[in-house]
Amino acid sequence: MEYCKIHTDDSTLIVAIMNIWETTERGENLEIRIEKMEDMDTYAEFTLPAYHCHHAYGFKETELMQLEKFLRDNAVTIWRMGKGEIVAEGAA
């Protein structure tokens, strides 16, 4: 599992690539989980490339929209991490 930490004004987010798989209908897919480091019970799970949040707890709706924007803005890097082409700094 590849992950990185994102520091915001009020918290640190852990962005983890949980799974990568391929379907004949949609091609490659990534499952992403984002957690607040200060409260691991606050999380959101997204499926890319649809950027669909299929499960979330503790985040406000505006925060979920910001997370989706982050995923869209960083999609190329996230996909490369998921495929093992790049490694996040500090990842083992």
Domain-wise residue ranges, the chain? 2-82
Q: What is the gyration radius of the CA atoms in the chain, in angstroms?
A: 13
The answer to whether 70 and 49 have CB atoms below 8 angstroms apart is no
Q: What's the pTM value of the predicted model, to 2 decimals? A: 0.84
| Average pLDDT across the chain, whole number | 88
pLDDT tens for 20-51 read 888 887 788 999 999 999 998 999 999 999 99
Q: Is 78 exposed, middle or buried (0-12, 13-18, 19+ CB in 10 A)?
A: buried
Pick from 9, 83, 74: nearest CA to 46: 74
More confident residue, 84 or 67: 67
Q: What is the mean pLDDT of residues 57-81?
A: 93
- What is the pLDDT at residue 30? 93
